[in-house]
Amino acid sequence: MMKSKEGAVVLEQQTGMGLRRVSFDQIKCKVRQYFKQLMPYGMVLPAMAILGLFVLYPIFYMIYLSFFKWNLIGSKAFVGLHNFIRLFSDKAFWEVLGNSFQYMFFTVFFAIVLAIILAVYLKRETKANKLLQSILFTPHIVSLISITFVWMWLMDSNYGFLNYLLSILGLPAMGWLTDSNTALYSLILISVWKSIGYNTLILISAMQAVPKYLYEAASLDNATKWTSFFKITLPMISPTLFFLTLMNMIAAFKVFEPVKIMTQGGPMNATNTLVYDIYQYGFTFYKIGYASALGVVLMIIIGICTILYFAGLSHRVHYR
Amino acid sequence: MNKIELVNIAKAYEKGTPVIEHLNLNIKEGSFTVLVGPSGCGKSTILRIIAGLEKETSGDVLIEGKNVSDIAPGDRQIAMVFQNYALYPTMTVRENIEFGLKNIKMPKAERQAKIAEISKLVDLEPYLSRKPHQLSGGQRQRVALARAIVKNPSVFLMDEPLSNLDAKLRSQIRTDLIELYRKLKTTFVYVTHDQVEAMSMATDIILLDKGKIQHRGSPADIYENPSNVFTARFIGSPPMNILSVEAIDLEDRMDKESDLIGKEPISISSIGPHHARYVGFRPEHSRIAKRCPEMNDLSINELFLEGIVQSREMLGDHVLYKVKTKYGEVYVKSFQLNMVDYGACHVVLNPKDLMFFDGNQNRIETDEERCYT
């Protein structure tokens, strides 16, 4: 009896324990399920928080500010679309926009075309080429500010090195940064010089990734070097080219430091670009609302350009 | 007549030992010549030298008697099919086939007629506007072939064109290639490491090892009369069983009862030439028996080798046994489908199927009537 009674108790306890364990397991299971569902969100939360705080919030705040008149100190006055209306009816804005486009077009064109030519020349892996690559890449790692100061000295119209070279060649001196006809091109020159090393490096690696056997097949197909380049190399590096052009385009639209340091948008507004204009309105004239409206316009322009670029060219890009 | 001649060709890369030294080789007009050998034997290098993709270090390449050493690959009247097909990934199938024709400035109408004809020949008509990455392996292979055929070359060079295909497709394209060869009646030079491909398609096989020709001949010749141990072991699947004569004879001398005996105890050296060092026989030329065959069961001259069955593979039409003997492992391909059990067995051979090799592993040609009668 005792034994059986003891046995029964143990059994009961066991069943009791068992039951309890089952329900506890169920809870654990549920918690685990929720945890599993929430886990991915938890993982991306820090990144999303940073993105929201430092990217999305400023963008929306800028859009919000563009509808107000504000000088940073007083209270904001809602003016609706007034800032935009004033902006589009301002002749200076169109000039600035023209400068920006001109700057963007020439910078991107030369920075890419010259980089392609250099990459074709430097893609063969010799010691001399490696050295040249590193030299070419140096401008990219030096701070733009210090570069700008060096170029200012080089381009000085009285004591500059470039004018000294011109005088040796018997050519008249140029007002590199002081002539409203050449100032923008001088800035373009610096920008091309700075970005060409990086572009070349990226293009070299893209070209080196083109399989050798394609060129062998082409040589058996009687293709000239020229044909091989246009029919094989260019299509094969098109994704890289597409990416580089886009990045260069956006960077060119956002040019600021050289303008600020070298020309302050002058002479006669000739080098005033969108970002410098925004800076001036924001931090020189304290017209925050107007500057924000300019910022919105810049964002929209870059957005439209990117979309147009994708729509127009992406079907010609070959992704493997 | 010789279509292609390589005279005293040597090839060495910048660093390291030469791949090929003093190679002389000729390829007959209208032959299907297969260069076969293990990887690193220089077969692809030879093909690339013929194509002009690789510059020979010294020596001359002659195509139709003309030295082409200074002629560009495109002007050598050759077409090549690469191992990975080397299709231009950015071009459609049509553009891939057309590329070579455009480069020689063929008029458009002629080009289109040719493409239509070729795409019909290789069954590519529905795929002409697709890009290579939208095609299956077999289809890509056909594009590569079409690209070669369309140029109407006098020599086709093929660098392991089937190695990227699965086994089934491979055997199908093998027969397609034979048909194509018969249709085009031009010279084919084909590189492979697969002896089955070599045996099945070639009219002429050149077996290479370490940049040297080991054997050249027709598939039947290379199978029946391998000129050395390397050839004997390379051709045939599974490879020929090669045993050291010395080991057998040594054993022989130690105890009088030889394992390789006929009706009377005999030694290998009494069957083969006295300077034989290796003896070989093909797995398909041997039988397997469970017990020591009764003397009466043996046909008059048969020999047997004692061993233990290590593994057996039922392969449908035959059974493959791996047998461990005192002298090494041998393979036996038995067409008797009732399998012999694991354990002790006897490998039965006919002395006329034995091949003898000397100390340098070269074949010793013996008369049809061997010493043992």
Q: What is the pLDDT of residues A103-159, one digit of tens each?
A: 999 999 999 999 999 999 998 888 888 898 888 888 888 888 888 888 888 888 788
Q: Which residue of A has its CA nearest to B101?
A: A221
Please answer yes or no on whether A318 and B90 come within 8 Å at the CB atom. Answer: yes
Q: What is the pLDDT of residue B352?
A: 82
Q: Give the Cα separation of B241 and B250 in Å (integer).
A: 19
Mark whether B33 and B54 lie in a shared domain: yes
Interface predicted TM-score (ipTM) of this complex, two decimals = 0.82
Structure tokens at B173: 């394209």
Q: Does B256 contact chain A (CB < 8 Å)?
A: no
**Which band of pLDDT confidence, cut at 50, 70 and 90, is reported for residue B202?**
very high
Tokens coding B27: 């390829």
pLDDT digits (tens, 9 = 90+) for B7-34: 989 888 877 778 888 889 999 999 999 9
The enclosing domain of B304 has a CATH number of 2.40.50.140
- Average pLDDT on B262-269 reads 51
Mean pLDDT over residues B226-238, rounded?
Answer: 90
Question: Is the same domain home to B251 and B211?
Answer: no
Of the candidates A213, A220, A231, which has its C-beta nearest B84's C-beta? A213
Distance CA B355, CA B365 (A): 8
Nearest chain B alpha carbon to A213: B86
Quick check: B276 contacting A, CB < 8 Å?
no
Number of folded domains that form chain B = 2
Q: Which of B187, B211, B234 is where one domain is finished?
A: B234
Considering the entire predicted model, what is its pTM?
0.79
Judgement on whether residues B288 and B160 belong to the same structural domain of the protein? no
Q: Is the pLDDT of residue B250 over 80?
A: no
pLDDT at A216: 93
| Domain assignment of residue B36, yes or no | yes
pLDDT tens digits along A292-315: 999 999 999 889 988 988 887 777
- Say yes or no to pLDDT of B248 above 80: no
Pair B206, B142 in one domain: yes
Domain that includes residue B187, residue range:
2-234
Q: How confident is the model at residue B291 (pLDDT cuts 50, 70, 90)?
A: low
Interchain CB distance below 8 Å, B86 and A221: no
How sure is the predictor about A208, in pLDDT bands with cuts at 50, 70 and 90?
very high
Q: What is the reported pLDDT for B269?
A: 60
Average pLDDT over residues A91-98: 90
**Of the partner residues B51, B91, B133, the one whose CB lies closest to the CB of residue A320:** B133
Residue B371 lies in a domain: no
3-state secondary structure (DSSP) of residue B14: coil
Mean pLDDT, range B217-227, rounded to an integer: 92
Q: Round the average pLDDT of chain B to a whole number and report it.
A: 85
Tell which residue, B223, B188, B219, B226, has the closest CA to residue B205.
B219
Helix (H, G, I), strand (E, B), or coil: what is residue B324? strand
- Is the CB of residue B86 less than 8 Å from the CB of residue A235? no
Q: What's the DSSP call for residue B58?
A: E
Q: Which of B172, B201, B234 is the last residue of a domain?
A: B234
Q: How far apart are the first and last CA of chain A?
A: 81
To the nearest 10 degrees (0 to 180), the angle between helices B137-149 and B167-184 is 20
Which among A221, A236, A238 has the least Cβ separation from residue B99? A221
Total CB pairs under 8 A between chain A and B: 63
Do B125 and B270 share a domain, yes or no? no
The answer to whether residues B59 and B6 touch, using CB atoms and an 8 Å cutoff, is yes
Taking contacts as CB-CB distances below 8 angstroms, the residues of chain A near B84 are 213
- Among residues B234, B251, B279, the one where a domain terminates is B234
Q: Mean pLDDT over residues B83-107, rounded?
A: 92
Do B88 and B24 fall into the same domain?
yes
Q: Is the predicted pLDDT of residue A316 greater than 60, yes or no?
A: yes
Residue with tokens 């054997």: B215
Compare CB distances from B86 to A214, A238, A320 and report the shortest one's residue.
A214
Report the pLDDT value the prediction gives residue B373, as an integer from 0 to 100: 36
A284 neighbors A197 (Cβ within 8 angstroms): no
Look at residue A20 in the predicted model and tell me its pLDDT: 53
A65-90: buried (b, 16+ CB within 10 Å) or exposed (e) per residue? bbbbbbeeeeeeeebeebbbeebeee
A16-25, B57-66, B101-110, B329-338: least confident range: A16-25
- Euclidean distance between CA atoms B248 and B186, whole angstroms: 50
Name the E strands within B210-262. Answer: 212-217, 241-244
Q: Which two tokens stand for residue A12?
A: 């009961």
In a domain, B369, yes or no: no
3-state SS, residue B289: strand
Answer yes or no: do B252 and B315 share one domain. Answer: yes
Please tell me the distance from the alpha carbon of residue B238 to that of residue B171, in angstroms, as a whole number. 18
SS3 for A277?
A: helix
Q: Which of A72-76, A260-264, B363-367 has the lowest mean pLDDT?
A: B363-367
In angstroms, the CA A286 to CA A116 distance is 43
- B256 and B226 both lie in a single domain: no
B226 lies in the same domain as B247: no
pLDDT recorded at residue B372: 42
B246 and B177, same structural domain? no
B262 or B147, greater pLDDT: B147
Strand residue runs (E) in chain B: 2-11, 20-28, 32-36, 58-63, 66-67, 78-81, 155-159, 187-192, 204-209, 212-217, 241-244, 278-281, 286-289, 303-314, 319-325, 328-334, 343-349, 355-357, 363-364
Whole-number Å distance between alpha carbons of B305 and B323:
10
B196 lies in the same domain as B259: no
Residues B125 and B156 in one domain: yes
